[in-house]
Structure 1
Amino acid sequence: MSLSADRKLQLHLIDSSSDLSSSRIAHWKLNEDAADKIVLDDDASNHDGLTQTSNTTDLTETGKVGKALNLAKVGNDAVVITNDDDELSFGDGTN
């Protein structure tokens, strides 16, 4: 990841020949645009989250494809995973 001169977050993928979806535990697109605080886990693993203060409509704007999370709008808000699960552990028992 990098931050461009105009303060846009950029993700750089090095190897696109590997399909990592089979070992993916969670996938948050962060493109919700609903009048609620729910941030959905897109891979159906039920690791949804909730924003702490704002509805997702207040945190997103038009992206290159659909909606996107605007990190400048997030401020002190956070997304908290609502279903604590061992899959999200670092292997030492901490989440």
Structure 2
Amino acid sequence: MGSPAMADGYINGVPVDCYCTDKQGQRIEVGETICLQVDGRMFMAQCQMSLNVPMWREVSPGCLSSGLTAPLQSVDPSIHTLGVDVEIFATKS
């Protein structure tokens, strides 16, 4: 008898290619977690198997965010050095 983890990926000993899809129809592998927006609600959801059917299961409310804004991402660090820690680059003598 196979383990529960193996049972969802095989039918009669034949591997089954199971995955979820996001809003754009892109393939999301079983076990991957993404941010979903459903009916105006945003939450982190994981692609899981239930009764041999891939499905989304909410794993936490809200979505993770980096908090970076577009202007900070486009700043050239060689010109704007405020984000550079001088101690990291200093050599000890």
Fold in common (TM above 0.5) = no
Structure-1-length-normalised TM-score: 0.20
Structure-2-length-normalised TM-score: 0.21
- Structure having greater relative contact order (Cα 8 Å, sep ≥ 6): 1
